[in-house]
Amino acid sequence: MPEWLVFVFLVAVFVLLAMAAKVPIGPALALSALAGALFAGEGPSLRHLVEGAFGYFDTILIILTATIFIKVLEDAGILDTVTALLLRTFYRSRVLLLLAAMLILMFPGMLTGSSTAAILSSGPLIAPVMMKLGLPRLKTGALIVMGGILGMIAPPVNILIMIMGGGVDMPYVGVTLPLLVLIVPLAIIVPLVIGYRDLRVIGREEMMSILPPALGPAYRLRLAVPFIVLVVLMLAPGVTAGRIPDIGIPAVFLCAALVGVFCGRPVNFLKATQKAVAESLPVLSILAGVGMFIQVMTMTGARGWIVMSILSLPSFLLYFGIAVSLPAFGGVSTFGSASIFGIPFMLALISKNALFTSSSLSAIASLGDLVPPAAISARFAAQVVGEPNFFRVLRHCFIPALLQLAAGIGMLLLAPFLDKLI
């Protein structure tokens, strides 16, 4: 059975189920994976299906625990209070507000290398502020996605580079400067492009009238505790060079959530968990389905066929291939794309400075978070701003994403020049 036929079959079954039969994406991916395995003559391959889904088990835990954290903050009234605080501080200046929002959005991603963690933890803080100041819901969603994506690739932690570096024996050292050169301009331009035109400058009166119901001053210091716990637990292992153990992102979120229970209005932790499970399950089942889908693609040789087809493009199309395939495969998994395409591209560009190459490839690959079917970041951002159709948020990410893509490709092309400069 030719590999391309298996691939076409897999995609066709998925499209049929998802579009025509309106099966939710997760089960549709799982069923098409099962059908693909049968079609390729591999039998039901249940072991393979479950094994593939396990590739995302850690991600699933992060998403669940991060959502619990947010639900606790919401129920405790802490989110509203933080929103009020941000409004009071920044309502006078659009530029300052946008830049501050961007930094807050990026921050958790910078520490964890996970855009999901960033979007789920700081997205709900920023979203109400922006919307109250006149930024449309969909554009707010776009700002949150781009913040998460830029946070994921911003130093100190860029997991995409770690994955690609691991494949070519490049230690994770010295990427801070190239990454800053790439990301600082984007982190300034992107929020202005998305928000400058719509954001309103308002007077003090109006600001006071839109403030959400905040908790009283008696809570003030206590409110910061869950955030402090979150940041300290994320930062401590790195700062102390491992003397304080790294308990992993899920445990960090859960600890911060447990602390959050005692820092605002009384919270029913069980109910908060139940809400988090209900809200995140569609995405969790998509991840499980995507894992099964990739496993079947690999076990039937379809993955190899795709990688080969792109790598064998003529060399003048190489940059085009990079710009398309890295984000496109990210539609299945951004980290998977860094490993499956990122490493071969690193090798193809081995004559250039690996620090610049890996930085720009990571910026390009991270855009995969926007690409369907998974489109993890876009889905979560849409959820944060209460938009059921994430494609409507994606539309507003188009120009910022193009800017980021251009910056990435630009750095690849200019690598020899930058190499001499820095």
Partner 1 sequence: MNRIKASELSAALFLILTGILCFISGRSFQTMHRPEPVFPSAGLTATHRLSDYFPPLKNTHGDTEVYIFRGTEEGGNLLVLGGTHPNEPAGLVSSVLLIENIRGKRGNVFIVPRANASGFTHSDPQEGNPQRFAVPTPSGPRLFRLGSRLTNPVDQWPDPAIYINPARQKLSGNEVRNLNRCYPGRADGFLTEKMAFGIMELIRRERIDIGIDLHESAPEYPVINAIVFHENSSELAALALLELQAEGFDIRLEASPVNLHGLSHREWGDHAGIKAILLETPNASHGRLKGKPSSSLIVDGKDKFYAKASRLGWLFVPYGEEGIPLALRVARHLAALKALLGGLAELEPEKAVEVEGMPPPAEVQKKGLGAFLHPPQKSG
Partner 2 sequence: MIRIFYLLIVLYLSLHLFWHLFRQKNPWSQAGTALVLTLFLLRLFLIK
Residues of this chain that interact with partner 1 (CB under 8 A) are 3, 21-23, 46-55, 58, 61, 112-113, 157, 159, 162-163, 166-169, 171-173, 234, 237-238, 241-242, 245-251, 291, 294-301, 303-305, 307-308, 311-312, 336, 339-340, 343-344, 347-348, 350
Plot region of 266 (φ>0 → left; ψ -120 to 50 → alpha; else → beta)? beta
Integer Cα distance of 249 and 230 in angstroms: 9
Among 95, 231, 281, 348, which residue interacts with partner 2 (rule: CB under 8 A)? Answer: 281
Pick 282 or 386: Cβ nearer partner 2: 282
| Sequence-ordered list of residues with C-beta below 8 angstroms from that of 227, at least 6 positions apart, any chain | 256
Q: How far is the CB of 32 from partner 2 (least distance, A)?
A: 13
The entry of partner 1, partner 2, none near residue 304 (CB within 5 to 8 angstroms by kind) is partner 1
Integer Rg of the chain from CA: 22
36 binds partner 2 (CB under 8 A): no
Q: How far is the CB of 26 from partner 2 (least distance, A)?
A: 4
Element (H, E) at 238: helix 220-239
Query: In whole angstroms, what is the distance from residue 189 CA to residue 30 CA?
Result: 40
Question: Looking up tokens 């999901």, which residue turns up?
Answer: 116
Q: Which of 313, 335, 310, 330 is nearest to 401 (CA)?
A: 330
| C-alpha span between 381 and 146 (Å, rounded) | 9
Residues in CB range of 289: below 8 A, 6 or more apart: 25, 26, 27, 28, 29, 30, 33, 53
Say how many Å lie between the first and final Cα of the chain, rounded.
51
CB-based contacts of 292, cutoff 8 Å, min separation 6: 29, 30, 33, 34, 48, 49, 50, 52, 53
Q: Which does 229 bind (CB under 5 to 8 A by kind): partner 1, partner 2, none?
A: none
232 contacts partner 2 (rule: CB under 8 A): no
234 binds, among partner 1, partner 2, none (CB under 5 to 8 A by kind): partner 1
Distance in Å, CB of 350 to partner 1, minimum: 7
250 binds partner 2 (CB under 8 A): yes
* 53 contacts partner 2 (rule: CB under 8 A): yes
The one segment of 7-15, 158-166, 269-277, 308-316 that binds partner 2 by CB under 8 A: 269-277
67: contact with partner 2 by CB under 8 A: no
Which of residues 212 and 248 has its CB atom nearest to partner 1 in the complex?
A: 248
Residues that bind partner 2 (CB under 8 A): 23-24, 26-27, 30, 50-51, 53-54, 57, 60-61, 64-65, 245, 247-248, 250-251, 254, 273-274, 277-278, 281-282, 284-285, 288-289
